[in-house]
Amino acid sequence: MTAPVNPGELPATTPGTDAPVVEPSTLTLLREVADVKRLRDARGPGSLADRAFTRSWRLLLRDWSPEQVQRLALREVAHTLVAARLAGVDAGVLATAGLDRAERLTVLQRAFDAVAATAQGGFGDLADLRAALDPDPFDEDLLPAAPPFVDALVRQPRAGATHPELPRVVVEPPESHGDHCFVTAVYSALVAPRFGVQRGTAFLVALAHHLPNGDLPDAGFGGEVLLGEHYLPVLAALEERSLRQLPAGLAAHLRDLLPQRETTGTDVGRVFNTADVLDRVLQVHHHARAAAFTAAQALDDLDIVHPGAVQQFQLGVLAGAGIPVR
C-alpha cells in the first residue's frame, strides 16, 4: 500500500515534448524485466528479484553516498537486463564453468544487447548501463546483514486487485513486496533520464517506497479505503519504524526523498509513479496471460521441442504416446 497520488498535475509525456513517457516499443523489455520476479535458481531462496532487493539494501548499509547509490543502480539494472534472458546464469556461474573474465563479459554483453534491442531505443542511450556490467563474481559474504524490514518485505505478499465493496481477486502465486519494489526500482532507473533524474535517485526511491509494509500486511486499495482516516497515520507510524532500522544518515535522506512518491509535481515523483503503475498493471497482465496459456503456444510459438539433431525422434515419441504437438 502507498499513500494516495495527487493526479493530473502534469501530462504523462516526456518533458518538453508530446512523446509518451513510455513508448509501446519498450513493453517487451518491461515484461521481460518483470519476469525476474518469477525466476529462481538453486543458489538461494526467493526469486532473483527478491534476492537483488535484499542485496541492494545490504550494499546501501555499507555505503549510501550518492556516488555509491548511482553505481548500485547502474550495476543492478544492467544485470537485471541480463537476467531477463539468462535467468540465474551470472558471472559467478560462468566463472565456475571455467570462462575467463573476457569470455564472461562477452556473454553478459550479448544478453544485455539482446534484451535492450527489443526496446528499439525507447529508453534512449543505455551505454552507461552496459558499461556497468561486471564480469567478476559478486561476493556478498562481507556485506552487512539486511535490516529486519527487508526480510519482512520479501516474505510479505502483495494484495493483488482489491476493492472496498467487492471480494478480492486472489491470484497465485502472489508476488512479494521485495519483488515489486525491486522491479519498480529497475523501471524507475530506466525512465529516470527522460526527466533529468539520476538513475540512482530514482532507484532508491522505488526500492524504499513500501517501507510501511514491513509491518503492515497488504490489504490493497480496499484496505486503504476501509482504514479511512487512520490510513495515513498508520502508514507514517510504520514507515518510521522501518526507517529507524537504518543508519541515521540514510534514514534522514529517505525522509527527504520519499514524500516525492506521493506527487507527480516533481520529476522524481513522475519517474516513480510511471514505474509503479507500469509494474502494478503489467503484473495483472502477467496473471491474465498465464491463465490463458496453452500447450500450443509452447509447442508452436516457443519451440519447446527444440529444433536440432534429436527433434524428429522426440516428436516421434510424442506422436507414439498420443500427445498432440499441433
Measure the CA dihedral 26/9/162/158, to 10°: 60
One-letter amino acid for residue 17 of the chain: T
Residue with cell 525491486: 182
Helix, strand, or coil (residue 139): coil
Give the list of residues 6+ apart from residue 305 with CB closer than 8 angstroms, or none: 299, 311, 314, 315, 318, 325
pLDDT 10s digits, 215-243? 999 888 888 889 999 999 999 999 999 99
| pLDDT value at residue 212 | 96
Give 256-262's long-range contacts (Cβ < 8 A, gap of 24+): 257/201, 257/204, 257/205, 257/208, 258/205, 258/208, 258/209, 258/211, 260/205, 261/2, 261/3, 261/205, 261/209, 262/2, 262/3, 262/4, 262/5, 262/6
Low-confidence ranges of the chain (pLDDT < 70): 1-10, 287, 290-294, 297-302, 321, 326
| pLDDT value at residue 147 | 97
pLDDT 10s digits, 21-74? 888 899 999 999 999 999 999 999 999 999 999 999 999 999 999 999 999 999
Q: What does the domain layout of the chain look like in residue ranges?
A: 24-151+172-293, 294-326
| pLDDT value at residue 318 | 75
Cβ distance 60 to 146 under 8 Å?
A: no
DSSP string, 40-84: --TTSSS-HHHHHHHHHHHHHHH--SHHHHHHHHHHHHHHHHHHH
Residue with cell 491474465: 288
C-alpha cell at 165: 465493496
Cβ distance 103 to 133 under 8 Å?
A: no
